[in-house]
Structure 1
Amino acid sequence: MTDALPDSLIPYDEIVQEALRAVVGRVLGEVERSGGLPGDHHFYITFKTSAPGVDLPKHLTERFPDEMTIVLQNKFWDLKVFEERFEVGLSFNQIPARLVIPFAAVTGFVDPAVNFALQFQAQGDTGAPEHDDAENDVPGIVTSEDGSNVVTVDFGRKK
């Protein structure tokens, strides 16, 4: 008798990923409805820049050809949340830009104000999911030297 688990005919991983993305959409929808972030809440949202449906200015896709992290804190505008995507205005080196980001492209969502973090695989990504049974650390956050809304986030895990 073997201890190997049978392959599931139910796509649990996909269902969980979809549910996590719904959390991000709901949170952003609350911010859109209320007209701003409550209290000290602010978000770091990491996404795949080359994912289908992502729409960024050319200078940003050239600078971040794979992945980037944006900050929604003090200086963002025109947040619009739809079922499959969100749109937001941000400034990069004092140049305004409109970003369109499908939830399927999002790989990380962090609200450091309350020690909340989600990390998931970009849809269509064939790599193995990066998870284990350990708790998430609060990501280390390093702001960009050029003053833009882009940061480096290390989604490290406790071992």
Structure 2
Amino acid sequence: MSREIDYGNLMHSAMRGLIRTVLQDIAENGLPGNHHFFITFDTAHPDVELADWLSDRYPGEMTVVMQHWFDNLTVDDEGFAVTLNFGDSPEPLYIPYDAIRTFVDPSVEFGLRFESADEEPEGYAAAPDAEEEQDTVQVPAEEKKNADIVSLDSFRK
């Protein structure tokens, strides 16, 4: 009986654990210094909770910013809830970690990106027997200054 270590899923779990740890610290202590987050998530994920008008306006994905004003941040093992301001209208959201596509803190040029095999970034090629999901730690181009991009695919067998 042959078994293999599933590095792809282990990395996803570790990266989502990092997000959970960061958000838990923010919930308890607030945002330090210039830290702020751009979080892009899949609005069609079955466990995402957001106002109908937001899901209608953003049917595929949505990026939220946690910076100057946010309220009621609660973090659990599956995701987080937060109230954000949309044009002077506070709206509660629940975002499961599995729905997150990118998590970026541009104040320190840090970013995580969760990609599926059909969303490979330009310049990256999947190995013929690649896992269902690709893992890339990267900062989106609009937020990238001189950040290093590390492809986790290079560590796969």
TM-score, reference length from structure 2 = 0.75
Cα deviation for residue 61 of structure 1 reads 0.1
- The answer to whether 1:58 aligns with 2:52 is yes
Q: In structure 2, how many angstroms separate the alpha carbons of the residues matched to 1:19 and 1:129?
A: 20
Contact kept in structure 1, 2:36 and 2:105, CA below 8 Å: yes
Structure 1 37/136 Cα, relative in aligned 2: closer, same or farther at 3 Å?
same
Q: Which amino acid aligns with 1:66?
A: G
Identity between Structure 1 and Structure 2 (%): 37
- Show the counterpart of 1:17: 12
Query: Alpha-carbon deviations, 1:103-155, whole Å to 9, x = none?
Result: 0000100001001011013xxx56355484998455415xxxxxxxxxxxxxx
Among candidates 106, 109, 118, match of residue 127 of structure 1: 118
- Show the counterpart of 1:100: 94
Q: Which has the higher helix share?
A: 2
Structure 1, unpaired ranges of 5+: 1-6, 142-156
Structure 1 114/9 Cα, relative in aligned 2: closer, same or farther at 3 Å?
same
Give the number of aligned pairs: 133
Cα deviation for residue 33 of structure 1 reads 1.1
Structure 2, unpaired ranges of 5+: 126-135, 144-148, 151-157
- The answer to whether 1:29 aligns with 2:24 is yes
Structure 1 83/129 Cα, relative in aligned 2: closer, same or farther at 3 Å?
farther
Cα deviation for residue 9 of structure 1 reads 2.9
